[in-house]
């Protein structure tokens, strides 16, 4: 199954969001492959992304 984005600009926006979240937790991402990250680093980035999405949603409700 091929991965195809429904919204063409979404991939770049998500990439910028991921880089911003990584920066927030002190992890430096390289362009392209980042498979050398530890599970802890990758989890920190994902956790920060979820935290920011929840905050944005909650702020939208106000």
The tally of domains found in the chain comes to 1
pTM of structure: 0.79
In a domain, 43, yes or no: yes
Cα(48)–Cα(34) distance, rounded to whole angstroms? 17
pLDDT in tens, 8-62: 788 889 999 999 999 999 999 998 899 999 999 999 999 999 999 999 999 988 7
In a domain, 46, yes or no: yes
Cα(27)–Cα(55) distance, rounded to whole angstroms? 21
Range of the domain at 54: 10-23+38-61
Alpha carbon of residue 11 to chain centroid: 10
In a domain, 50, yes or no: yes
């Amino acid at each position: 199954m091929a991965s195809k984005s429904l919204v063409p600009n979404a991939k770049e926006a998500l990439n910028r969001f991921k880089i911003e979240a990584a920066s927030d937790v002190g992890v430096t991402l390289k362009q392209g492959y980042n498979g050398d990250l530890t599970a802890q680093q990758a989890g920190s980035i994902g956790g920060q992304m979820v935290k920011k999405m929840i905050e944005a949603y909650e702020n939208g409700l106000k």
